[in-house]
Copies of this chain bind each other. A is one copy, B any other.
Amino acid sequence: MATIPSDQNVLKKDETYSLISADKVSGTDVYNTQGNQLGEVEDIMIDKLSGKVAYAVIAFGGFLGMGEQRRALPWSVLKYEPRRDGYVVGAADETLKDIPDIGEGAYADPEWGARIHQHFGVPPYWS
């Protein structure tokens, strides 16, 4: 996950101050790396303590035989692609087919949090 260097001069201005509204993120399409539409962002989950976006809640539309289902993906897995005006999930189809479900109490369960980040091979948002 990107950490903003304390010396702002190493980054271009438009990168440093690049903001997006949560309203605009919701409803944005989500694709796999081959450009197939997987679904759309339904909501985002924010860590109150750090103010970091933790998860994007994605409504999957049935691609890959997954059925219509809702999954929470680590925010760091989604990359915005302006050409598509959508997010691309950099994960193999096998990984996408097998995302741990949210389940009751998942967001309060550190083991679930660790598992979902491990599933995608990204460091947890709290690290």
Contact = CB atoms under 8 A, between A and B. Distances in A.
Q: Which among A15, A18, A19, A109 has the greatest number of chain B C-beta atoms within 10 A? A: A19
B49 A108 contact: no
A66 to B, nearest CB: 22
A58 to B, nearest CB: 13
B57 A21 contact: yes
State the copy count for this chain: 2
A2 interface: yes
The size bracket of the interface on A is 35 or more
A10 interface: no
Nearest to A13: B110
Contacts of A16: 49, 110, 126
Interface of A: 1-4, 6, 8, 11, 13-23, 25-26, 43-55, 57, 75-76, 80, 107-110, 113, 125-127
List of 8 A-B pairs having minimum Cβ-Cβ separation, nearest first: A22-B22, A19-B45, A51-B53, A22-B44, A19-B107, A18-B48, A4-B126, A21-B43
